[in-house]
Amino acid sequence: GNSVTQMEGPVTLSEEAFLTINCTYTATGYPSLFWYVQYPGEGLQLLLKATKADDKGSNKGFEATYRKETTSFHLEKGSVQVSDSAVYFCARRNGQNFVFGPGTRLSVLP
Amino acid sequence: NAGVTQTPKFQVLKTGQSMTLQCAQDMNHNSMYWYRQDPGMGLRLIYYSASEGTTDKGEVPNGYNVSRLNKREFSLRLESAAPSQTSVYFCASSARDNSGNTIYFGEGSWLTVV
């Protein structure tokens, strides 16, 4: 079926640590892939996206590369900040439908 | 810069009461969606509308109805609220699937059914 799986949280890191949040997907064809971020009390906001194999999406120091061979779209950041504390959702789009992963809560401690 | 606007932001209902969540978008998007978000469950699609005049069930449609009033507005109705419908509801919209058009979310509506 069509689904998105991402690593279980919560993830707790110290400021300036390296972040990886794994995401894998199943889908027919080549869906567009996204990472969204949700800050407390708000809706989801687009963080970055990639629309074809080997594309790298990047924004605010976050990066993710569309890996067709491993059906993955892992989120990385080299040095996290306290302000990055939020819930992160991996998602894929096929046609009109978006499928979201369960979300990974990140807490960054000063 | 409104984007997707949904109301009300907070609501407390008694079991059996009805209510309508309103949603409007000003981005001329064809598709609109209603999701619910529960702890540990992520986002689950309730209903969506691919274009004006059409609606389709999502993953968890039971207990809800929707109306695509026009291209801008997409409302969600709870006819007889139940405690299991306590959740945070998000309206969203997107343009047609073309080069990774993203989905835009409203700020959420916190609903408690007692």
Question: With a CB-CB cutoff of 8 Å, which residues 21-60 of chain A face chain B?
Answer: 32, 34, 41-46, 49-51
Q: What is the mean pLDDT of each run of 10 residues along chain B (114 residues)?
A: 90 97 95 91 90 92 96 96 97 81 92 97
Pick from B92, B100, B104: CB nearest A32: B100
Whether the predicted pLDDT of A1 surpasses 60 = no
Pairing of strands B109-113, B10-13: parallel
Task: Taking residues A59-88, report their average pLDDT.
Answer: 96
Are A102 and B90 in contact (CB < 8 Å)? Answer: no
Nearest to A98 by CA among A108, A89, A107, A87: A89
Task: Taking residues A62-77, report their average pLDDT.
Answer: 96
- Asked if residues A9 and A105 have their Cβ atoms less than 8 Å apart, the reply is yes
Q: If pLDDT is split at 50, 70 and 90, which confidence band does A95 have?
A: confident
Are A43 and B107 in contact (CB < 8 Å)? Answer: yes
Are B43 and A100 in contact (CB < 8 Å)? Answer: yes
Are B31 and A96 in contact (CB < 8 Å)? Answer: yes
Pick from A42, A51, A95: CB nearest B107: A42
Give the C-alpha separation, A64 to A85, whole Å. Answer: 18
